[in-house]
């Protein structure tokens, strides 16, 4: 059954009307700046403190005060390095653009996750901007079957001549290049994997794992069900977000591999739910 969360937005409460001195440029009214920050969070789902500091030409302490005030007003939730909207649904961009974002972190995550590749057997690599970096790290072995629902991953592995590569078929989503829907689900029901390497659009310790698209949600759920071990590869920006279609709980993955930008409190919460967390170096 498709689960949907319908969320409403709150309005920013103004806190003071004085202006902050800027490190160059014209001073901006505090309440106006905070309203704009709240709008940015609601539109993008997440903002980075460093980017806000540069955008408004104020120091990091000023941004911290802004985020604290907005959190107290109920407009957002502070996370390590920035803030996320309390009620927004995660926004999905095209994978072709996302794969270049936080490239260093994603490569480090792929290297840390590659330790889970078995000596032989079958693995699944799900479509995604972080899982896409895993392809270059796979060993050149004929005894490893690599199954994927990502066209670009299948093509890259085939060009490199690494192992045996198979796709599951299905409708290809333009946003993610992922094969989804009935054909994909029928094939997954007939397959079992030693390890599945999966990505995520949004991870919340209460809502669980979620994605904006119901077709992808169904395939993601089937991948988890077909895997003996599920390894979730994601950068820290996906934590604290929710999307419309829930497809699993935190406990449905055995290992989460992420970068060191994740907050220690979030790591503690994830481990308390019984899931191993590995922080990638680099």
One digit per residue, pLDDT tens: the chain, 282 residues?
333 333 333 333 333 444 444 333 345 789 899 989 988 887 777 899 999 999 999 999 999 999 999 888 777 888 888 887 765 455 555 555 555 567 899 999 999 999 999 989 999 999 988 998 998 888 776 778 999 999 989 998 888 776 899 999 999 998 888 999 999 999 999 999 999 999 989 998 889 999 999 999 999 999 999 999 999 999 988 888 888 899 999 999 999 999 998 888 889 999 999 999 999 986
Place of tokens 């995660």: 90
Q: How far apart are CA 172 and CA 28, in angstroms?
A: 46
Q: How far apart are CA 268 and CA 271, in angstroms?
A: 5
Q: How far apart are CA 16 and CA 171, in angstroms?
A: 52
Q: Is 152 helix (H, G, I), strand (E, B) or coil?
A: helix
Predicted confidence at residue 123, as pLDDT, reads 96
Predicted confidence at residue 258, as pLDDT, reads 97
| Non-local CB neighbours of 240 within 8 Å, separated by 6+ positions | 46, 77, 79, 84, 203, 204, 266
Predicted confidence at residue 39, as pLDDT, reads 83
Q: How far apart are CA 79 and CA 64, in angstroms?
A: 11
Predicted confidence at residue 282, as pLDDT, reads 65
What are the start-end ranges of the H helices in the chain?
30-44, 49-56, 60-72, 95-98, 103-113, 151-160, 181-188, 214-226, 264-272
Task: Catalogue all structural domains in the chain, each as residue range(s) with its CATH number.
Answer: 1-88 (1.10.10.10), 95-279 (3.40.50.1360)
């Amino acid at each position: 059954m498709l689960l949907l969360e319908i969320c409403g937005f709150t309005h920013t409460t103004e806190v003071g009307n004085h202006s902050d001195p800027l490190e160059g440029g014209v001073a901006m009214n505090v309440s106006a700046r905070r309203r704009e920050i709240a709008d940015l969070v609601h539109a993008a789902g997440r903002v980075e403190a460093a980017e806000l500091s540069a955008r408004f030409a104020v120091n990091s302490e000023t941004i911290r005060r802004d985020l604290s005030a907005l959190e107290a007003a109920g407009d957002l939730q502070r996370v390590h390095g920035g803030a996320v909207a309390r009620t927004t649904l995660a926004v999905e961009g095209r994978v072709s653009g996302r794969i270049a974002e936080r490239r260093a972190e994603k490569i480090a995550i792929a290297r840390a996750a590659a330790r889970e590749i078995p000596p032989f057997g079958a693995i699944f690599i799900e479509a995604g901007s972080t899982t896409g970096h895993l392809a270059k790290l796979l060993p050149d072995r004929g005894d490893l079957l690599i199954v994927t629902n990502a066209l670009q991953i299948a093509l890259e592995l085939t060009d490199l001549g690494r192992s045996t590569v198979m796709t599951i078929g299905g409708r290809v989503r333009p946003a993610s290049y992922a094969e989804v829907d009935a054909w994909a689900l029928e094939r997954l029901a007939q397959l079992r994997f030693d390890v599945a390497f999966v990505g995520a659009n949004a991870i919340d310790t209460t809502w669980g794992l979620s994605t904006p698209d119901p077709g992808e949600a169904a395939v993601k759920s089937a991948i988890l069900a077909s895997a003996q071990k599920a390894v979730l590869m994601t950068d820290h920006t996906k934590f604290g977000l929710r999307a419309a279609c829930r497809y699993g709980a935190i406990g449905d993955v055995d290992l989460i591999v992420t970068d060191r930008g994740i907050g220690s409190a979030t790591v503690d919460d994830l481990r308390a739910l019984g899931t191993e967390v590995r922080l990638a170096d680099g």
